[in-house]
Each structure stands twice: as structure tokens, then as C-alpha cells.
Amino acid sequence: MLEEFKAFIARGNVIDLAVGIIMGSAFTAIVSSLVSDVIMPPIGIVLGGIDFSDFFIALNGESYATLKAAKDAGAATLNYGIFINAIIQFVIVAFSVFILVKQVNRLQKKKDAAPVPTQDQILLAEIRDLLKKQG
């Protein structure tokens, strides 16, 4: 069983997966910063200075100025603004992965495409095969 585990770990797919997870977590930090620090502030300005992360509904029926105030008061909240930020982050990550996979597939097709033999090469192969049969 130990030998099987070693063989499993040594396979390229597992190592590729580990690298992908590490890169993905680093990429997620970048996308989180992009959404919260670059994309959402201009959207908030367009919407009148509103910060999406402060969009919430207090489930106790009271009104709070900010999400922090509601949390400090111990109110249960439905944080749909943070959810909107998460959706935007997901769309950015999904689009980035789509572009990455598309480029990798494009490069892979170029590598995998076998050269098409010319008419001369086909004829020479046929002559070779006939000579092998005769000899």
C-alpha cells in the first residue's frame, strides 16, 4: 500500500494539482484585492458613495448605520453586499480561468497537430513497403 501511495504522489497529475491549488490561492488574494480595492470603490462612487460591503438587513428589525454597528450590537444580519462582492470575485476568477484554459488548449493543439505527409512522402512510403514485400 505504501508503494502504491508513493506511485500516486509521484505521478505528474498530483504535483500539477498541488501547484494549481497554491497558484489558485495566491490568485484569489489578488482577485479579492482587485474587487474590494479597485472595482468596488468606483462603483460605490457612481452609486452615491455606497460601499457594497455595508449592504445588509438586520434580522432583528432594527436599523443600523453600518454592518460593523449591527455586529457590535449583536444583531443577526443578512449580508447581501458581501455576497455581491463574492459573486463579482467569482466571475473575475471564472473568466480568468476560462482565458487561461483557452490559451493552454490553443497551445496544446499546435503541439499535438501531427504534420501532414506530402504526396511525395506518401509515394516514397508506398515504394518502401513494396520493396519490403519483394525482398
pLDDT digits (tens, 9 = 90+) for 77-87: 999 988 988 88
CATH number at residue 89: 1.10.1200.120
Q: Quote the number of domains for the chain.
A: 1
Query: Do 58 and 77 contact (CB within 8 A), yes or no?
Result: yes
More confident residue, 112 or 37: 37
Mean pLDDT, the chain, whole residue set: 83
Where does residue 64 fall: left (phi above 0), alpha (psi -120 to 50 degrees), or beta otherwise? beta
With cut-offs at 50, 70 and 90, classify the pLDDT of residue 76.
very high
Range with the lowest mean pLDDT among 3-12, 23-32, 119-128?
Answer: 3-12
pTM, to two decimals? 0.55
Region 18-25: mean pLDDT is 83
* Other residues' Cβ atoms within 10 Å of the Cβ of residue 70: 22
Helix (H, G, I), strand (E, B) or coil at 1: coil
More confident residue, 49 or 27: 27
Task: Give me the domain span that covers residue 7.
Answer: 2-134
